[in-house]
């Protein structure tokens, strides 16, 4: 009986040791990228979730694309949540990058562009399939800066009155160009909407916002994160 206990202790020790090593290896690999260092510091729950996902991928490399898509989706949602208080430079850099990514996805088959703008409706797009690794890494760096600046040097939300004229201008211009179709953005969860057209209209909205002076466009983007 004594030996059985000793053997069980050894088995448990080996299992714990293996788990610790897998966890350590996953953390080491992820922390080579700036975005994961920022997540560990400012968004620990998201960081732990992605470490756990990476451990699964590390044991089964056929899950590589799954991990990339999960990580991109989680980090994107986290960055979006932090946009409200991110710096002007970080907000504008990420938005320019997002517009470029949406344009690339617009050329891909299916509804990848729609999923990019509205992941809560139909799930995120297959980023690993349509966006090259260099572009993905650049986007993650920009998201990291959004998260970092929002937590370390938070910018106050602009007063609603300070952005209402620009918001009205963007809305009016969108209706002038697309007519009643512009309403589809507000009903993106309706299965009957034309997802390709929603993508096009959403791109037009953000391109118009980005044509404003930098301080005004960043203020409007940050204010829009509070619209429900």
**What Å distances lie between residue 74 and 59, 69, 84, 206, CA to CA?**
21, 9, 17, 22
* Cα angle for residues 221, 206, 202 (degrees, 5° grid): 120
- Residue 18 CB contacts under 8 Å (≥ 6 apart), including other chains: none
Has residue 40 been placed in a domain? no
In sign, the C-alpha dihedral spanning 210, 216, 218, 219 is negative
- Please report where in the chains the tokens 């991990």 appear, as a residue: 67
Residue 57 CB contacts under 8 Å (≥ 6 apart), including other chains? 63, 64, 66, 67
In this structure, is residue 161 part of a structural domain?
A: yes
Q: Yes or no: say if 184 and 197 are a contact pair by the CB < 8 Å rule.
A: yes
Alpha helices (runs of H) in the chain, residue ranges in sequence order: 2-30, 34-42, 44-59, 64-82, 88-106, 112-117, 119-122, 127-130, 133-152, 160-178, 195-210, 214-224
Residue 130 maps to a domain: yes
Contacts of 215 (CB under 8 A, 6+ apart): 88
Structural domain includes residue 18: no
Q: Is residue 173 part of a domain?
A: yes
- CA distance linking residue 95 with residue 83, whole number of Å: 10
Q: Total domain count for the chain?
A: 1
Domain presence at residue 99: yes
- Residue 180 in domain: yes
**pTM value > 0.85:** no
Contact 99, 61 (CB under 8 A): no
Each residue's pLDDT tens digit in the chain (228 positions)?
444 444 444 444 333 333 333 454 667 778 888 899 999 999 999 999 998 888 888 777 667 788 888 888 899 889 989 999 999 999 999 999 999 999 999 998 889 999 999 988 888 888 888 888 899 889 999 999 999 999 999 999 999 899 999 999 999 999 999 999 999 998 999 999 999 999 999 999 999 999 999 999 999 999 988 765
Q: Is the dihedral of CA 78, 81, 86, 92 positive or negative?
A: positive
Task: Give the residue numbers spanning the domain of 205.
Answer: 65-224
2 in a structural domain: no
C-alpha span between 99 and 45 (Å, rounded): 28
Cα dist from 165 to 84, 185, 211, 217, whole Å: 19, 20, 15, 12
What's CA 27's distance to the chain center, in Å?
Answer: 20
């Amino acid at each position: 009986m004594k030996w059985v206990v000793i053997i069980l202790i050894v088995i448990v020790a080996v299992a714990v040791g293996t788990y610790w090593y897998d966890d350590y290896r996953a953390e080491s690999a992820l922390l080579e990228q700036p975005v994961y260092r920022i997540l560990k510091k400012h968004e620990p729950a998201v960081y732990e979730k992605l470490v756990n996902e990476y451990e699964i991928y590390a044991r089964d490399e056929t899950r590589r694309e799954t991990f990339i898509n999960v990580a991109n989706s989680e980090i994107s949602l986290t960055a979006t949540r932090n946009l409200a208080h991110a710096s002007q430079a970080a907000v504008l850099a990420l938005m320019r990058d997002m517009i470029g990514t949406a344009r690339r996805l617009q050329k891909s088959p299916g509804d990848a562009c729609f999923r990019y703008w509205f992941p809560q409706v139909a799930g995120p797009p297959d980023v690993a399939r349509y966006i090259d690794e260099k572009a993905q890494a650049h986007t993650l760096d920009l998201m990291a800066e959004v998260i970092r600046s929002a937590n370390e040097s938070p910018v106050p939300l602009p007063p609603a009155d300070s952005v209402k004229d620009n918001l009205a201008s963007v809305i009016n211009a969108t209706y002038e160009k697309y007519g009643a179709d512009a309403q589809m953005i507000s009903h993106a969860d309706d299965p009957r909407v034309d997802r390709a057209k929603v993508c096009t209209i959403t791109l037009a909205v953000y391109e118009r916002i980005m044509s404003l002076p930098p301080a005004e466009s960043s203020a409007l983007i940050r204010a829009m994160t509070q619209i429900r």
